[in-house]
Amino acid sequence: MTEHQDGRAGISADLVRRLLADQFPQWADLPITPVKIDGWDNRTYRLGDELTARLPTHLAYEAAVHKEHRWLPALTPALPVPIPEAVAKGEPGQGYPHHWAIRRWIDGSTASLENIPDLDAFAHDIASFILALQQCDATGGPLAGEHSFYRGAPPSHYDSETVDALATLKDRIDADLAREVWDAALASSWDRPPVWFHGDIAHGNLLVQDGRLSAVIDFGTSGVGDPACDLVIAFNFFSGSSREAFRSAVQQDAETWARARGWALWKALITENLPVVERVLDDHVTRTQ
């Protein structure tokens, strides 16, 4: 059974068809097909060749619909690759309780180690995107908080969760060193004006064509604040020379990297991704010796 067949949140192609008929009849006759690779927060359906319908699976993810509809157009002109284009915003209806979005379809394949022959060049692509995003005007932007699941805020929001995970995994990792990494993250802070961050720079949100970055999608956890969370890809995707290429190109200071290690550690601990835990710990030792 696929995620699109499990009826999660009552979302289906039939629901999308009925919502379109009620609210956007000009698109109601388009073919509706689930995208092949989808996330947990939303169900996404392709509408014909040029559009998508994106429906949150829970109230917690609805804020992203309004945020993206407001801010994606403002960010687009300054970024080096395409990002989702907000076409229309749907209302609750047909028994579905949330606002939802219609976006422009973006061609490309989800990033993977198999379809990127030059990871060093790809690392530069990601760094260039992050730096361009940080240069976007943050005036009036959505300050990090609940809508961004506290990405862009201090990692201390997840302190109790991290401490509990450390206790659970204490016999499977170097818990003392992990605690040192976490404490270093908590001791650091972003003391400059807030900047734009994406919040989930991960391979599933990166599209590639011909082995190079071609688009960045899913700005649901974006906002303005501390950009450290956007560096986590250094530990869960890059390695060796590509990690060093990313670190050099993205031009962030040591304290921002300390918080980035904290973000990566928190996520790896709560998902029991022990290889990523080891990479974070190794990086901490290398950078602080």
Instruction: Show me where the domains of the chain are located.
Output: 3-105, 110-288
- For the beta carbon of residue 17, count every other beta carbon within 10 angstroms: 19
Q: In the predicted model, what is the mean pLDDT of residues 56-61? A: 94
Q: What is the pTM of this model?
A: 0.93
Helix/strand/coil for 153: coil
pLDDT at 7: 45
pLDDT at 40: 73
pLDDT at 36: 80
Which residues partner with 51 through β-bridges?
47, 104
Q: Is residue 231 predicted with pLDDT exceeding 80?
A: yes
Cα separation, 128 vs 117, in Å, equals 18
Closest-CA residue to 139 (of 69, 73, 74): 74
Q: Is residue 232 predicted with pLDDT exceeding 50?
A: yes
pLDDT at 10: 81
110-288: CATH superfamily: Aminoglycoside phosphotransferase (APH), C-terminal lobe (3.90.1200.10)
pLDDT at 5: 37
Q: In the predicted model, what is the mean pLDDT of residues 56-68? A: 95
> Is the domain defined by 3-105 classed in CATH 3.30.200.20?
yes
**Would you place residue 8 in the very low, low, confident or very high pLDDT band (cuts 50, 70, 90)?**
low
Average pLDDT score over the chain: 95
Ranges of beta strands (E only) in 105-148 are 109-110
pLDDT at 9: 61
pLDDT at 288: 84
pLDDT at 4: 36
